[in-house]
Amino acid sequence: MSTIALKVNGRSHTLDLDPATPLLYVLSDDLELRGPKFGCGLGQCGACTVISNGRAIRSCTTPVGTVAGAEITTLDGLGTPEKPHPIQQAFIDEQAAQCGFCLSGVIMTAKAFLDQNPKASEPEIRQALSGVLCRCFTHTRMLKAIGKYAEGRNA
């Protein structure tokens, strides 16, 4: 066990943990955040995606010790039900969800990508999202919502 300092959604935490513990377990079990989801646990579906120092990472395969001190953002840190983040509002406006299980990963992946590539084209956005799986086949509406958000932030 080691003492690990984590900064998540603007709040600092000091936790006694095995540094090899997947970040996802710490976010879910220790910090009780419900944004990141456990899908495959193998880095293959994207449901667990969070943003670390501006980069989308898969928290199920990220040992917590490797992100000590990093600025981590989960879906829980983006907006609130009363004041959703503009990307969340775009998903609400487009009704871009079925079961919603993939949404946290889709939104965090899209946000990190557009923060780094504000002028990305539709095919580039599609490519960036290609590794985040949606079992409900809601891709078309989600891409529409992301496109709307991308347009709005460039306006």
In whole angstroms, the minimum distance from the beta carbon of 61 to ligand FES comes to 6
Give me the phi and psi of 105, to 5 degrees please.
-65, -40
Cβ closer to ligand FES: 35 or 46? 46
**Minimum CB–partner distance for residue 23 and ligand FES (Å):** 10
Identify which of residues 5 and 20 has a Cβ nearer to ligand FES in the complex. 20
- Least distance from ligand FES to the Cβ atom of residue 70, Å: 17
Sequence-separated (6 or more) residues with CB below 8 Å from residue 3: 14, 15, 16
Beta carbon of residue 104, minimum distance to ligand FES (angstroms, whole number): 10
Interface contacts to ligand FES, rule CB under 6 A: 38-41, 43-48, 58, 60, 97-102, 134-136, 138
Nearer to ligand FES, 38 or 153 (CB): 38
Rank residues 28 and 70 by Cβ distance to ligand FES and give the closer one.
28
